[in-house]
A and B are shown apart, each in its own frame.
Chain A
């Protein structure tokens, strides 16, 4: 499908404005960024233009982020990281400054939950740590840190972090709002 959405209708812009934390100008600017990534029509995806996962991951805002793979997976509809404009807008809306703590917390949980089982288990924690520190820690140290984290945060002692545990922890972090933020 070759039609590029060069303009939006009033209603669409209103909808976007009400459903995200962006203003009109920002939405249009994001749309032009999206077009710059040359989206293609992927069959079977409701004829929406999507950008392939590796293209999104090569954006300057995400290029060096150790969690970029997970981020694009979480926000895409197919789970592989191929993003339509809705997904794109959604992603940056959650990462924007105006998004509230609760919403960011939900998505942060999804990002850190690598296997997608609804809890952050030991393997998820290990993977997170590896991405955070990039081979600077030995396996033993990683084990120790994982144990410490579970000790501190796991409130119901099942060896995994559920959403509630995560929520509790994030509530105590004043900095979360400023670190979980991507400027676009």
Chain B
């Protein structure tokens, strides 16, 4: 866990940090220029130039102030309209603000808290911004993280106590009985042709065994490892049983805080790090995984492959939903129960009629006979799911990735089927 490390970091150490950060930036202010299109207003362009002038002029606190203005204004643009319609230039402006702010924060001598704050700013730029200056925020984050050695991590202050308005969660987790249901077929390392002919083309799900055996994550990943590699990084976490519930919300916290509050220590609320492109944010983790060869059989380009991570405690349940894309799900740790319904059953699952939730069912599947076979994925297996199959419990949001911090807390809630419990239980630290 995060511990209160040595707060009196030697001045030489911090001087080295500033030097390392400064070296990542261009030498002259002319090179720190973004090519921006028409959608970025002239006044903002002036402000960016001003910020660069202040930075290279050594006027740190004024540069910080100007960066804040840039961040606040571009944040408003990022929250206007649908996320997929937000002009990429505004996300680059936001990343620019994060870059200057993070670096300026580290210029003056500070303690581990300052460096952690700067890393958080970097992460905000990575989460909400777009790549600038050749992924400079990744490099800055790496430098800051290296400076935050485990011994130097700031003390983790637990979040203020929130009233527990929900009943205590039933900690008994039952393993569903699969005998009465049809299981998804399993294949061991099928050839590409076999996979395409028997599953991709006819759109039938399959469990592939042996495909991910050699991935480093299978041996390396544990809670301790994740803490070490990514503990101080800020990620979006969903809090609440289901994203269709009224109390559901999205929060930003470090991976350490997430593990402390929602994975260990008998959490009161359900927290789920779900559908987050963690591997773009933290390249060290990306090195532990591979992309299955079968992905090259898909329609799109390789650049269109997105890799998301799901990380949560036992007992997380995602509502029945569907995806517009083909998916491979790889289970690294723990076990997950998945129930699938064919697209032909779409009417029977009562999708919400709202734009936001039209890919989500209003009902919670109970113990009725499932028309499609469910699957239990054990660690080390890959599950291939075809487009538009209804499935639980892994979830995806509405078309377009969700923005951190801008989620509806009170969705219009449709009536659910009156099943008291869902059978989508899972166990193990990873779901």
The finding on whether chains A and B are genuine partners in a shared complex, rather than unrelated, reads no
